[in-house]
Structure 1
Amino acid sequence: MANTEVERYSEVDTADVPSAAWGWSKITYRTWYALGIFIIVFLLGMMHGNHVGRVENWFLVLFAGGTALVIIRDWIMRRRGMLR
C-alpha cells in the first residue's frame, strides 16, 4: 500500500547536500545584511589612512554606496514579496 504521508519539497535535495535534512542549507538573509553593513563600515573606515589624494576616497564612497543600494533594494523587495 502506498504511503499517504505528504512529502515536503524543499529547494535542496538531501542527496546533494546531506545537511539539508537538518535545515542548515537555507540562506539567512540577516547574516548577509549584517555582512553588507560590515563591508560598508569597513570601506568607509579605510578613508582614514595614510593616502594623500582624494581619488581613493571617492572610490571607497562609491563602492560603499553601491553596496548600500544593493542591500536596501534587496531588503525592500523581500518585504514586498518581489523576491523569495
Structure 2
Amino acid sequence: MAGSEPVTAPDQHKPGHRKAGRIGAVLTALVLLAMLCGNHEGRVEDIWLIGLAALLLLIVIGDVVLRRNGLRH
C-alpha cells in the first residue's frame, strides 16, 4: 500500500510532545528533591538526588534557551 501513503521527509517526523517532556522533567526533579526527606543517614544520597535534579533542570533550561534563540528546531 505504498502508493496511498504520503511522501514525507524524515525531518517532518518529530518525536513526542516537547511541552510534555519539559513538564515530566520538572516533575521528576521535584520528586527527586522531595526524596531528600527520607530515612537515609549519609549525605551521599543527598548529593546524588540534588545533582540529578539540578542536571534535569539545567537540560530543560538549556533546551528552552536554545529554542528561543533559534539554535535548535
Percent sequence identity is 27
Q: Over alpha carbons, which structure has the higher Rg? A: 1
1:31 aligns with 2:20: yes
Query: What TM-score comes out, normalization by structure 2 length?
Result: 0.79
Q: After superposition, what is the alpha-carbon deviation per residue over 1:15-67, rounded to whole angstroms, capped at 9, x for unaligned? A: xxxxxxxxxx6532110110011010010011110101111001100111111
Q: Structure 1 regions of 5+ residues with no counterpart?
A: 1-6, 13-24
Over aligned residue pairs, what C-alpha RMSD do you find?
1.9
Query: What TM-score comes out, normalization by structure 1 length?
Result: 0.69
Cα distance in 1 for partners of 2:26, 2:32 equals: 10
Which structure: greater helix fraction? 2
Moved over 4 A (4+): 7-10
Cα distance in 2 for partners of 1:33, 1:62 equals: 18
1:2-81 to structure 2, matched below 5 A, reads 9=8, 11-12=12-13, 27-81=16-70
